[in-house]
A and B are shown apart, each in its own frame.
Chain A
Amino acid sequence: MDTSAPSDKPSDVLLVGKGLERTFVTGEVSVRALRGVDVTLQRGELVVLLGQSGSGKSTLLNILGGLDRATAGTLQFEGKDLTHANDAELTRYRRRSVGFVFQFYNLVAGLTARENVSLVTEIADHPMKPDEALEMVDLGERVKHFPAQLSGGEQQRVAVARAIAKRPQILFCDEPTGALDSKTGIRVLEALDRVNRELSTTMLIITHNVGIGEIADRVLRMQDGRIIEETRPNRRLKPAEISW
């Protein structure tokens, strides 16, 4: 099934995965987590990826984000082939072009909010100021707090700020609200939504929450290692408007 959005400008294509397969082999058992996935992400679009547990969402995200390699298939970023990239090349891809937000924040405990952000801006080419990034996620007041002094939602917003501060071309979020209640979850989504609108950052958000699909330009649904459905909401809602 073709999941690419109709578009007249081919240069709008940012990331293309074709025939992606991933098989995990542990001892005697092998698990086919991806069984041929074709996916194209356009510049500036916000895509939500839904699917049952074990359907292969994280596996796909990790491959697209350069954390893992596909067993078969090809991957192109801005027309450059990443299929055969080595470790150093993937590191450079992540460093230059990709941001991540994970379910468990993964902040560095030994650094304050601002320092966690500047950790990334220091190795980026055209970053924003750390404070600016924290403003975007509404944390301008808490820059000097350590992760342990912040709530889960706040920590996740720091993670978002850290991810966007280097102005990545693409942001991958794996269940960014998975550990949060609805109110805090919505604040995180608002931060992501704002970044997507204001910076035109391409986003792929994994979630179990069907309602979140309503903030997307496009929703993909996975099952058994394949993308089985693609929908486009009629109107993209604001995070505050969705039903959690």
Chain B
Amino acid sequence: MVSRLSPLDIKLLRDLWHMRGQAIAVGIIVACGVAIMVMALGTLSTLRASSDAYYERYRFADVFASVRRAPESLSTRLREIDGVQTVETRIVRLVILRLEGVTEPANAQIVSLPDEGESTLNRIVLFSGRYPEARSPDEIIISDAFAEANALVPGDTLEAVINGRLRTLNVVGIGDSPEFIYALSPGSVMPEDHLFGIFWMRRRALEAAFDLDGAFNNVTLTVAPGTETAPVIEQVDDVLSPYGGTGAYDRTDQPSNAFVDSEMNQLKTMARIIPAVFLLVSAILIHSILNRLIQTERQQIGLIKAFGYSRWEITWHYLKFAIAITTGGVLAGFAFGFMLQDMITHLYAETFRIPDLTWRVDGFALVISSFAALGSAIAGAMSAALGAARLSPAEAMSPAPPVNYHQGWLRYILQMRWLDEPTRLILRHTFRFPARTAANLFGIAAAVMLLVGTLFTFDAMDTMLDRMFFRTNSHDAAVTFFEARNDTAIGELARLPGVLMAEGVRDVPARVVSANRSERISITGLPPDSSLRRLLSADDRYIDMPETGLALSAQLADMLDVTTGDMVTTHILDGTRPVAELPVTAIVDEIIGTPAFMDLAALNALMDQAPTVSGAYLRLDPQHQADFEESVIERPGISGVSLRSAIIASFEETLQETIYIMMGIYAVIGGAIAAGVVYNAARISLTERGRELASLRVLGFTNNEVGYILLGELALVALVGIPIGCIGGIALAHLIATAMATELYRIPVTVNATTLGFAAGIVLVSSTVAALFVVRRVRSLDLIAVLKTRE
């Protein structure tokens, strides 16, 4: 430890103190970049660590498969598959609930527990209550989120329609399992906690209810560590297909896990892209501040060199300046990042049901963000510092050569009569230092760009909602049957009270293969003139369902690397399991998932079946929706009903809070960049031109006129920078949307004019505030002092 500061260090501290405003402005920008990195990486590792621990501790399975009805004896064959460790068969069924005080149809996924004890895989973490008694026919454990949303506690009862019979179930415990971190009812994209729950029940009761004595319809298994799942899946499919297996899948396709993965992917993208913009801006600012400082200190540098200080000592001196500012920013960024992480983790805890999801400090995030911040600061400072070190003492001690204003093409503009001199001065200044103007331009544009590139997600959300609930899915309710059935069921549904129109659909699991690519999907059969489930082309126009072949979503076509006219091998994983070569006859634009569509009649023909449906889309009479809700529950054979109004409501409720928090964060950080850039530019301009501006004051120019000359340049930069930033923001939106797209959903890039306006507004307001801080100083220019000294 050095006990006494060297004179150079004292000078450094004085410089820092003197330039504290600028140092703080840069520090804030560094802090924002670091904070976002700390927040994103920290949340990422929190999410990963907690889910991994949860998976491990409660034995989340590796492979999952559904089957129509398989004899229990099959489990031995599954156990014999190479690499398989543990196999657990079970019964899983979707049922309709009747909840007190809730008119909308609610669903539950019932998962069987072994008749005695706990399950071996996907074990339950019990928060309160107990396990159902062995073989108990009506005791259940319910999922935590559902219990919370419906205020249910052990001891309460609820009613479920199980195989057409209304049964009263007794809640004895509340728990969760790693299978349902993100619990979605089939076909949904957002958890609707009060309308969808997971129930665990003893198997005996379910075998009886669903006619599955000595049989199972679902199996999960683990593989030995390091085992590839693909060959295991293949063999599981071989074993199960004769019994109506619908294709096994591993964790990547397991819905809950896939959502957790996609969230982590978003955090990773955020940590990569957004802080980079901040650090780039701060590096540029540090560069311009140091350049200016060195310009003012030329003579001192000459003197110091004449005293015998080495180049390296001078370079290091100025680098220390950059390091000092950045270190401050990094530390503030840690604090700010922890705050953000705490907020985000709270939000996540609502959505991702992971026990002990509490935020933790991620050492790696701290190290990596400090390195990134310091690295970019040093990169920004280096050329300026080296420039200082290279000055020869003699050269440095003579005044800097006068700037020669060359007029060039600018002359034509400047000759215009109507320009007043202050404006001419502004223009000439703007173009005198093109590099600096470009840097300021970049700074302003970057602020707008970041705002547009982040705020667009809210526009995208609107587009998604519009697409999902109005443009493509224009039905008011969707009904799923337990099993595919004859399409006379549609006529029965149409006769229910409140139903204006009913269209049958059929969902069939399938594996589509093209060359060496293969995807497990679900093919949806739609009637030819379906008006309740419509298809859109890439340019947002409605297209008709082709009579033959497959209409693939663009994402699926991408994954299979096929386009219209190509053939794909289609293995239907249901019924007689036909295999067919089908042409791709349309590519459709879908937001959610990677669906494929087929003409319903063609699908039935392919499966060699009479007109068959697995569900229906309904249009309801809004006045009689309640009647419909009442009567549909009574219908046998229906496993699920989802209402558009309920989904939209819960969608909006879930998003609302998140949106305001995120908007606030983005607005603050975008504004911080703009303010930092403008404050710095104005301060540098003031230092550089203080003398000139004071002279103008002497000549009788008012404070405001001088302020105009000082800030006109920045106003000009902002005027040009904002539209550039808007364009850049749209590009950034595309980049982010592409980086964040997963097989689960895609973020459509829509940027509304209001978002552009909002971004521009934030940047304008924060720049103006920063500029006014500097203009205040014009008042305190010392008019007399400047007249005493030679420039």
Say how far B700's CB is from chain A's closest CB, in angstroms: 3
- Tell whether, in the assembled complex, residue B428 and residue A111 are in contact, meaning their CB atoms are under 8 Å apart: yes
- Tell whether, in the assembled complex, residue B700 and residue A94 are in contact, meaning their CB atoms are under 8 Å apart: yes
Q: A112-120, A133-141, A191-199: which lies at the B interface?
A: A112-120
- Tell whether, in the assembled complex, residue B425 and residue A108 are in contact, meaning their CB atoms are under 8 Å apart: yes
- Tell whether, in the assembled complex, residue A122 and residue B421 are in contact, meaning their CB atoms are under 8 Å apart: yes
- Tell whether, in the assembled complex, residue B701 and residue A95 are in contact, meaning their CB atoms are under 8 Å apart: yes
109-131 of chain A: CB within 8 A of chain B: 109-111, 115, 118-120, 122-123
Q: Hey, which chain B residues are within 8 Å of A94, CB to CB?
A: 698-700
Contacts A104-B791, A109-B692, A110-B432 given; indicate if A98 touches B402 (C-beta within 8 A).
no
| A199 to B708 alpha-carbon distance, docked (Å) | 33
| A208 to B402 alpha-carbon distance, docked (Å) | 29
CB < 8 Å neighbour of B696 from A67, A108, A115, A147: A108
CB < 8 Å neighbour of B787 from A98, A104, A108, A120: A104
Contacts A68-B784, A104-B791 given; indicate if A110 touches B699 (C-beta within 8 A).
no
| A162 to B421 alpha-carbon distance, docked (Å) | 13
Q: Hey, which chain B residues are within 8 Å of A179, CB to CB?
A: 790
- Tell whether, in the assembled complex, residue A88 and residue B702 are in contact, meaning their CB atoms are under 8 Å apart: yes
- Tell whether, in the assembled complex, residue B692 and residue A148 are in contact, meaning their CB atoms are under 8 Å apart: no
| A210 to B664 alpha-carbon distance, docked (Å) | 70
Contacts A62-B784, A68-B784, A118-B421 given; indicate if A109 touches B402 (C-beta within 8 A).
yes
CB < 8 Å neighbour of A106 from B425, B432, B702, B786: B786
B474 contacts the other chain (CB 8 A)? no
Q: Hey, which chain B residues are within 8 Å of A149, CB to CB?
A: 404
Say how far B82's CB is from chain A's closest CB, in angstroms: 80
| A62 to B782 alpha-carbon distance, docked (Å) | 12
Contacts A110-B405, A148-B403 given; indicate if A67 touches B698 (C-beta within 8 A).
yes
Say how far A55's CB is from chain B's closest CB, in angstroms: 15
- Tell whether, in the assembled complex, residue B698 and residue A148 are in contact, meaning their CB atoms are under 8 Å apart: no
B379 contacts the other chain (CB 8 A)? no
Per-position binary interface string of chain B over residues 662-698, scored 1 when its CB falls under 8 Å from any chain A CB and 0 otherwise: 0000000000000000000000000000011001111
Say how far A98's CB is from chain B's closest CB, in angstroms: 7
| A120 to B697 alpha-carbon distance, docked (Å) | 11
CB < 8 Å neighbour of A102 from B424, B701, B787: B787
- Tell whether, in the assembled complex, residue B422 and residue A119 are in contact, meaning their CB atoms are under 8 Å apart: yes
Q: Hey, which chain A residues are within 8 Å of B786, CB to CB?
A: 106
- Tell whether, in the assembled complex, residue A67 and residue B405 are in contact, meaning their CB atoms are under 8 Å apart: no
Which of A94, A100, A106: most chain B Cβ within 10 A?
A: A106
Per-position binary interface string of chain B over residues 414-435, scored 1 when its CB falls under 8 Å from any chain A CB and 0 otherwise: 0000001110110011001000
Give chain B's interface secondary structure class.
Answer: helix
| A147 to B692 alpha-carbon distance, docked (Å) | 13
| A146 to B779 alpha-carbon distance, docked (Å) | 28
Q: Hey, which chain B residues are within 8 Å of A119, CB to CB?
A: 421-422, 425, 696, 699
- Tell whether, in the assembled complex, residue B787 and residue A174 are in contact, meaning their CB atoms are under 8 Å apart: yes
B789 contacts the other chain (CB 8 A)? yes
Contacts A106-B695, A111-B421, A119-B422 given; indicate if A91 touches B702 (C-beta within 8 A).
yes
Per-position binary interface string of chain A over residues 71-90, scored 1 when its CB falls under 8 Å from any chain B CB and 0 otherwise: 00000000000000001100
Q: Tell me the nearest residue of chain B to A174, going by C-beta.
A: B787
B489 contacts the other chain (CB 8 A)? no
B647 contacts the other chain (CB 8 A)? no
Q: Tell me the nearest residue of chain B to A148, going by C-beta.
A: B402
A96 contacts the other chain (CB 8 A)? yes
| A213 to B705 alpha-carbon distance, docked (Å) | 38
Per-position binary interface string of chain B over residues 699-727, scored 1 when its CB falls under 8 Å from any chain A CB and 0 otherwise: 11111010000000000000000000000
B783 contacts the other chain (CB 8 A)? yes
Q: How large is the interface on B (under 10, 10 to 19, 20 to 34, 35 or more residues)?
A: 20 to 34
| A186 to B30 alpha-carbon distance, docked (Å) | 58
Say how far A33's CB is from chain B's closest CB, in angstroms: 11
Contacts A111-B424, A146-B405 given; indicate if A96 touches B692 (C-beta within 8 A).
no
Contacts A62-B784, A108-B425 given; indicate if A122 touches B420 (C-beta within 8 A).
yes
Q: Hey, which chain B residues are within 8 Å of A103, CB to CB?
A: 787
Per-position binary interface string of chain B over residues 616-647, scored 1 when its CB falls under 8 Å from any chain A CB and 0 otherwise: 00000000000000000000000000000000
| A110 to B422 alpha-carbon distance, docked (Å) | 10
- Tell whether, in the assembled complex, residue B701 and residue A123 are in contact, meaning their CB atoms are under 8 Å apart: yes
Say how far A205's CB is from chain B's closest CB, in angstroms: 15
| A118 to B402 alpha-carbon distance, docked (Å) | 22
| A235 to B422 alpha-carbon distance, docked (Å) | 44
732-791 of chain B: CB within 8 A of chain A: 779, 783-784, 786-791
Q: Hey, which chain A residues are within 8 Å of B404, CB to CB?
A: 146, 148-149
- Tell whether, in the assembled complex, residue B424 and residue A109 are in contact, meaning their CB atoms are under 8 Å apart: no
Q: Hey, which chain B residues are within 8 Å of A67, CB to CB?
A: 698, 783-784
CB < 8 Å neighbour of B700 from A91, A118, A174: A91
Say how far B10's CB is from chain A's closest CB, in angstroms: 21
| A108 to B699 alpha-carbon distance, docked (Å) | 12
| A18 to B220 alpha-carbon distance, docked (Å) | 104
CB < 8 Å neighbour of B429 from A88, A100, A104, A110: A110
- Tell whether, in the assembled complex, residue A100 and residue B698 are in contact, meaning their CB atoms are under 8 Å apart: yes
- Tell whether, in the assembled complex, residue B784 and residue A110 are in contact, meaning their CB atoms are under 8 Å apart: no
| A176 to B62 alpha-carbon distance, docked (Å) | 91
Say how far B567's CB is from chain A's closest CB, in angstroms: 70
Contacts A106-B787, A110-B432, A115-B424 given; indicate if A100 touches B699 (C-beta within 8 A).
yes
Q: Hey, which chain B residues are within 8 Å of A148, CB to CB?
A: 402-405
| A32 to B428 alpha-carbon distance, docked (Å) | 43
CB < 8 Å neighbour of A111 from B425, B703, B705, B787: B425
| A149 to B702 alpha-carbon distance, docked (Å) | 29
Q: Hey, which chain A residues are within 8 Å of B692, CB to CB?
A: 108-110
Say how far A157's CB is from chain B's closest CB, in angstroms: 17
Say how far B406's CB is from chain A's closest CB, in angstroms: 9
Say how far A151's CB is from chain B's closest CB, in angstroms: 13
Q: Hey, which chain B residues are within 8 Å of A58, CB to CB?
A: 784, 788
Q: Hey, which chain B residues are within 8 Å of A68, CB to CB?
A: 783-784
Q: Hey, which chain B residues are within 8 Å of A87, CB to CB?
A: 703, 779
Q: Tell me the nearest residue of chain B to A146, going by C-beta.
A: B405
Say how far A87's CB is from chain B's closest CB, in angstroms: 8
- Tell whether, in the assembled complex, residue A104 and residue B402 are in contact, meaning their CB atoms are under 8 Å apart: no
Say how far A109's CB is from chain B's closest CB, in angstroms: 6
- Tell whether, in the assembled complex, residue A109 and residue B698 are in contact, meaning their CB atoms are under 8 Å apart: no
| A62 to B697 alpha-carbon distance, docked (Å) | 13
Q: Hey, which chain B residues are within 8 Å of A162, CB to CB?
A: 699
Other than the given A119-B421, A119-B696, 16 more pairs (CB < 8 A) read A67-B698, A91-B703, A92-B700, A95-B699, A98-B700, A104-B787, A104-B791, A106-B695, A110-B425, A110-B432, A110-B692, A115-B425, A120-B699, A146-B405, A148-B402, A148-B405
A-B contact list, 29 entries, CB within 8 Å: A58-B784, A67-B698, A87-B703, A88-B702, A91-B700, A91-B703, A95-B700, A98-B700, A100-B698, A100-B699, A102-B787, A104-B787, A106-B691, A106-B695, A108-B696, A109-B405, A110-B405, A111-B421, A111-B424, A115-B421, A115-B424, A119-B421, A119-B696, A122-B421, A146-B404, A149-B404, A162-B699, A174-B787, A179-B790
Binding site for A on B (CB under 8 A): 402-405, 420-422, 424-425, 428-429, 432, 691-692, 695-703, 705, 779, 783-784, 786-791
Binding site for B on A (CB under 8 A): 58, 62, 67-68, 87-88, 91-92, 94-96, 98, 100, 102-104, 106, 108-111, 115, 118-120, 122-123, 146-149, 162, 174, 179
3 tightest Cβ-Cβ pairs between the two chains A and B: A95-B700, A148-B402, A94-B700
